[in-house]
């Protein structure tokens, strides 16, 4: 099967040539198949956030290549990548515009990649699409479409952001610790919605998570990073049979270090 996303020997160093030089990504390689839902874990400084930023285009790699459907995107701007690569951040406020209504936010997402005209108003045909999509969330937001998103709870905003990120099916969905800022009950709700949306739309997703139980439970594949490299890559039945203790043991085996559960949050 051909990879939809191919990460080829990428390197990223910050403050190169200075006393503070930090070589974060050290020749990372990863082949992502269409339909993969990959959980990404790792300790502090493993390179998780840097990897997400290089895929989204907010950071450019120093060397190596990133291919999307066989074409290099390593020099493509973040704005242009956003047409094909959607991202949900840890902070619920980052995914929506606070002063815009729910339907206006959804209109921005729905028109991603389209040329902007002179008119802004939300069309009736679009409003029907948005209402049906919101119903799928089960949060009653379809009855609050003219409410500014600043009046929504963190969980509601994150659920809306998830929906917006998949409203126009992206080639790759990046989930950047998207439940870390939520309380446990709300986090569970957002994770259930994540699974529902990814499976319903057959999305290809990469999810950084600090929660090892979520890393095991969700997705078909689990990747562990250490010092800018992938040290564990498991899928299918092997992943389904993992336990949290297995992951701690795997990290110790591949890094020579002990890892406590809390460190996965960093």
pLDDT of residue 65: 97
Q: Is residue 154 part of a domain?
A: no
Q: Is residue 66 part of a domain?
A: yes
Q: Is residue 150 part of a domain?
A: no
pLDDT of residue 250: 82
pLDDT of residue 166: 92
Q: What residues are paired with 52 via a beta bridge?
A: none
Q: Is residue 146 part of a domain?
A: no
pLDDT of residue 120: 63
Q: Is residue 62 part of a domain?
A: yes
The domain containing residue 241 runs over which residues? Answer: 1-84+204-266
Q: What residues are paired with 189 via a beta bridge?
A: none
Locus of tokens 């529902």: 196
- As a whole number of angstroms, the distance between CA 170 and CA 175 comes to 12
pLDDT of residue 263: 45
pLDDT of residue 265: 37
DSSP letter at 95 equals S
Question: CATH number of the domain that 264 lies in?
Answer: 3.40.50.300
Q: Is residue 180 part of a domain?
A: no
The count of other CB atoms within 10 Å of the CB of residue 238 is 12
pTM (two decimals): 0.91
- As a whole number of angstroms, the distance between CA 126 and CA 128 comes to 5
Q: Is residue 156 part of a domain?
A: no
Q: Is residue 124 part of a domain?
A: no
pLDDT of residue 44: 83
The number of folded domains in the chain is 1
* Rounded average pLDDT per 10-residue block, the chain, 266 residues: 90 94 95 96 91 96 96 94 93 90 92 64 88 93 95 94 93 95 92 94 94 93 94 91 88 65 42
């Amino acid at each position: 099967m051909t990879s939809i996303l191919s990460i080829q020997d990428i390197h990223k160093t910050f403050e190169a040539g200075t006393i503070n030089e930090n070589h974060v990504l050290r020749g990372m390689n990863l082949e992502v198949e269409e339909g993969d839902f990959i959980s990404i874990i790792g300790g502090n400084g493993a390179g998780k956030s840097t990897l997400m930023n290089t895929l989204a285009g907010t950071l450019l790699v120093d060397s190596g290549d990133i291919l999307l459907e066989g074409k290099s995107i390593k020099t493509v701007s973040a704005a242009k990548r956003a047409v094909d690569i959607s991202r949900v951040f840890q902070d619920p406020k980052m995914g929506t515009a606070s002063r815009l209504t729910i339907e206006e936010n959804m209109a921005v997402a729905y028109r991603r990649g389209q040329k902007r005209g002179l008119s802004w108003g939300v069309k009736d045909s679009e409003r029907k699409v948005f209402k049906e999509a919101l119903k799928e969330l089960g949060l009653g937001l379809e009855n609050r479409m003219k409410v500014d998103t600043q009046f929504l709870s963190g969980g509601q905003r994150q659920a809306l952001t998830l929906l917006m990120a998949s409203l126009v099916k992206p080639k790759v969905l990046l989930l950047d610790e998207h439940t870390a800022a939520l309380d446990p009950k709300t986090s569970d709700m957002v994770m259930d919605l994540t699974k529902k949306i990814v499976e319903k739309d057959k999305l290809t997703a990469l999810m950084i998570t600090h929660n090892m139980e979520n890393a095991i439970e969700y997705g078909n594949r689990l990747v562990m990073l250490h010092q800018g490299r992938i040290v564990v890559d498991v899928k299918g039945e092997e992943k389904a049979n993992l336990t949290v203790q297995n992951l701690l043991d795997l990290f110790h085996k591949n890094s020579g270090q002990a890892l406590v559960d809390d460190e996965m949050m960093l």
